Chains A and B, each alone.
Chain A
Amino acid sequence: MRNAYVDQFPAEAKVIKAAFWSSFLALAIGGSLGLLQALHRTDVLRIMEAPDYYTVLTAHGVLLAITFTIFFLVGIFTWGVTTSLDRGLVDLRFTWGWYAMMVVGTVLVGVSILGGVVDAIPMNADVLFTFYAPLQPHPAFYVGLVLFVVGTWLAGADWFRTWLAWRSDNPDERIPLPTFMALTTTLFWYLCTLGVALSILLLLLPWSLGIVDSVNPLLTRTLFWYFGHAVVYFWLMPAYMLWYVMLPKLSGGKLFSDPLARVVFVLFLLLSTPTGIHHQYLDPGIAEGYKFIAMTNTMFLLLPSLLTAFTVVASMEHGARQRGGTGYLGWLKALPWRDPVFTGMALAGLMFAAAGFSGMINAGMNINYLVHNTWWIVGHFHLTVGTAVALTFMAAAYWFIPQVTGKELWNRSLGLVQVLVWFVGMTFMSNAMHRSGLFGVPRRTAEPQYENFAFEPAAGSMGEINAQVALGATLLTVSLALFLLNMVMTSLGGSSDEIPDNTYAETLSGPEDAPVVLDNLKLWTAIATVLVIFAYTLPLASIIDAGGLFGPGIDGFQLAIEAGPAFVLESVREVIA
């Protein structure tokens, strides 16, 4: 008797399937645009005008960092909550409601960005993922973002009410680990999105509609990063969840420690938000002390990630030894390397370790000056969100799509090749990006070729760096195509009885070893709130005090000038003269 997720929760499986396909669609579009950019930047193939690069970059950033990751997240968390509580969602109409809201939000944002290259759409949102005012998008861009975020809030409410319903039936039980993870993640998501939602609704949207005529760019920027760093943990947490609850089982063993997994997620709840100012080490108008506080919090965030590295590797070793592995390192041979789900997640974890090292450099307040806004940063986050998250999600899809459709994976070997090609492609691309950042090559730049100077690599040449990036991006696109092919072919296939049961990893040290206080979500939320107040009240107060809530008459700019740069430069010079 088959006991896959679709057999246990057929209605929820439909929602999850819809969320996954929304996510894959964003991945397909955003990923392909990535190739276009990589080839343009490296001057291998330029099929678009330089200004269009920024439209494409906006779409790439928003579709991959927000749409792809978060649609997948809501699918995974819905799976985790329902599976671990062993009960369905309270009201499926509500569930479809938040899903629809997220879709509408995405479409609004997508169309407004598309307006940057399609003349028929009278919109423009060439503001990149960070939408720093006074660059000004069409109001639809802001409205879409808000709808999307509110959709995720309702998704969180859905998981909470399901948990509360379960709680009334099971008053004395510990919160099952996957649910615990989903709930703590949702809590810090509420905390951090509050900042950007207020920023958009009270400051940016009225400004873009012409209701108020000015913004304070430093204020909206600070409110963006109030959300902007926590969001990276938001999309990382489902990957962590999979590493904790899936990877040990795939390795053939059990999770090393349930209590420490809880500690890790509590630490993320506490520290995700009061770190955002570390993206603003180079910003004027923020005193050094506030930057130092953000750095301290950031450095302590290394702790849960280092703990995760230990637990995940220990769990894998445990699994390998259950499978007959021996020796100090010989057990590695006993791991199920032919399984794309395992191999993809393991390689994603390996690359995340590398990303951790470059992240430590970024977090260092003084070393950051060398790499801030260089291509190094892009290399860093292509290892984190672009591999630790994306590769884990793709690998997980090889397990989840059969679970939610009841159809067997079309081609497992192709899946293995796909995750390996991603790993190799990302190695080339992110390594070259990191290296070029060290000698000052900027990020977010369509054609980084300057008239007054040339970049001087410490080793190798700029041409070599560009070749590695172009090669890497091409391999990544091939990998992406293989993934999508496998997903489509799987969905076209027939129902199968060979689907494994829907379970997750058991633990060596279970929740009974974890202090009950770890499950006290109110307490942790209260402490997290206090930390946020501590980290943000004074900086925000001083920014508002110095520049005003709305700034000194700063208009919006849509820097798209028909006449080209020469004309603008000339007129600017006239103003100066």
Chain B
Amino acid sequence: MRISKGALLVVIAVLIPFIVEFRTALSWFGIEISVLESLVLGAVVVLAIVIWAVWPPNGDAEAEPTGSS
């Protein structure tokens, strides 16, 4: 894990407003995407982040933060 599970959850939660408003922002430029397309897009981004998070970090340049408190 590159980041702790807790941090991953937080990242996904914070991502949600951006995905919601991305649709609004696009509509300003005349690009209309449906709610379903928006959901798919969100799922893809979340999946990418999850994969990035669980992929073992190459090299040991950074110590792995455990995130425990």
Which residues from A are CB-within-8-Å of B24?
435, 459-460
Q: Is B16 an interface residue (CB 8 A)?
A: yes
Q: Is the CB of B6 within 8 A of A338?
A: yes
Chain B at the A interface: SS class: helix
List 21 A–B pairs whose Cβ atoms lie within 8 Å, in order of A's numbering: A252-B69, A324-B65, A335-B7, A336-B67, A336-B69, A337-B3, A337-B10, A342-B69, A347-B10, A347-B14, A420-B10, A420-B13, A423-B13, A424-B13, A431-B17, A431-B21, A459-B27, A459-B28, A460-B24, A464-B35, A468-B20
Chain B residues with CB under 8 Å of chain A are 2-7, 9-10, 13-14, 16-17, 20-21, 23-24, 27-28, 35, 62-63, 65, 67-69
Shortest Cβ gap from A550 to chain B (Å): 49
Q: Is the CB of A428 within 8 A of B67?
A: no
Which of B6, B16, B17 is within 8 Å of A416, CB to CB?
B6
Of chain A, the residue at the smallest CB distance from B17 is A427
Which residues from B are CB-within-8-Å of A427?
16-17, 20
| Residue picked from A336, A337, A342, A417, most chain B C-beta under 10 Å | A337
Contact A338-B67, Cβ < 8 Å, known A343-B10, A460-B27, A468-B20: yes
Extra 14 A-B pairs, beta carbons < 8 Å, given A250-B69, A337-B67: A335-B67, A338-B7, A347-B13, A347-B14, A416-B6, A423-B13, A423-B14, A424-B13, A427-B16, A427-B17, A431-B21, A459-B24, A459-B28, A460-B24
Of chain B, the residue at the smallest CB distance from A343 is B10
Chain A residues with CB under 8 Å of chain B are 250, 252, 323-326, 330, 333-339, 342-343, 347, 350, 416-417, 420, 423-424, 427-428, 431, 435, 459-460, 464, 468
Q: Is the CB of B65 within 8 A of A333?
A: yes
Q: Is the CB of B63 within 8 A of A338?
A: no
Q: How many A-B residue pairs have CB under 8 A?
A: 72
The answer for the CA separation of A130 and B13 in the assembled complex, in Å, is 34
Which of B16, B65, B69 is within 8 Å of A325, CB to CB?
B65
Shortest Cβ gap from A392 to chain B (Å): 16
Contact A333-B7, Cβ < 8 Å, known A323-B65, A324-B65: yes
